[in-house]
Amino acid sequence: MKILIFGATGSAGGSVLRACLASPAVAEVRAVVRRPLSLDDPKLRVFVHGDFLDYSKIVDAFAGVDACLFCLGISATQVSGEVEYRRITHDFALAAARALRAGSPEATFHFISGQGSKVESRFMWARVKGETEKDLIAEVAAVCWRPAAIDGVPSRSEPKMFKILRPLFRLLSPFRNLYIRGEDLGRAMLLAARESMRGRILENRDIRDLADRAEGRV
């Protein structure tokens, strides 16, 4: 498979990238990032890009891929308000999904959402993520992933609280609805990509089930 990934410099995306690079089922990984990646690998092609609403300068990145794993995102605590949160969460993802549809019409689009996303939520972040899921499913039959706590690689951009809490996350590992290892999330996404899954919302428990099924298959 040829995989396109967003958010590879992040905690979730960094783990998903590692799962892609480790997988014999993946021949090539293309990462669209705004700053260079510290990783180097013969399977990896990096596209450093500035405007996440307009991909016309990097159409090559979107051509001939099997799936896009969209792991780019931000915490609502790191933005000025709903306008900025919506631009990064919703508008960036929709722009990438449309560019994918143009460059690789058969490819599947996978969006990392989050546990608790809901269109009618009273929480701004959950409402915006819920609306993003709804629009992505309507436009490109996206698969929307709702992980709980992701035990991912440390990242420069993640909220400081996450760095402190990460060791505590592992106490949650026996609870299948509360915890997922970052690389297991990546393997689950790869299995879903391999099976051409479309138009689904996957809760943390579903992701853990898929990751178990992915063992030895991706």
Ligand X SMILES: NC(=O)c1ccc[n+]([C@@H]2O[C@H](COP(=O)([O-])OP(=O)(O)OC[C@H]3O[C@@H](n4cnc5c(N)ncnc54)[C@H](OP(=O)(O)O)[C@@H]3O)[C@@H](O)[C@H]2O)c1
Residues at the contact surface with ligand X, assessed by CB under 6 A: 7, 9-13, 34-35, 52, 71-74, 88, 112, 114, 147, 149-150, 152, 155-158
Q: Minimum CB separation from ligand X for residue 151, in Å?
A: 8
DSSP structure class, residue 170: G
Alpha helices of the chain — where are they, by DSSP H? 11-22, 59-62, 82-86, 92-103, 124-140, 160-169, 182-194, 204-214
**Contact between residue 153 and residue 182 where contact means Cβ atoms under 8 Å apart:** yes
Q: Minimum CB separation from ligand X for residue 28, in Å?
A: 19
Backbone angles phi, psi at 46, to 5 degrees: -105, 135
Give 23 or 111: the residue with its C-beta nearer to ligand X: 111
6: β partners: 32, 70
Give 38 or 42: the residue with its C-beta nearer to ligand X: 38
Q: Minimum CB separation from ligand X for residue 106, in Å?
A: 25
Q: Minimum CB separation from ligand X for residue 165, in Å?
A: 9
Q: Minimum CB separation from ligand X for residue 98, in Å?
A: 17
**Contact between residue 61 and residue 55 where contact means Cβ atoms under 8 Å apart:** yes
Give 178 or 197: the residue with its C-beta nearer to ligand X: 178
**Contact between residue 192 and residue 164 where contact means Cβ atoms under 8 Å apart:** no
DSSP structure class, residue 146: E
Q: Minimum CB separation from ligand X for residue 97, in Å?
A: 15
Give 76 or 141: the residue with its C-beta nearer to ligand X: 76
Give 81 or 216: the residue with its C-beta nearer to ligand X: 81
DSSP structure class, residue 181: E
Give 86 or 194: the residue with its C-beta nearer to ligand X: 86
Q: Which amino acid is at 214?
A: A
Backbone angles phi, psi at 47, to 5 degrees: -115, 105
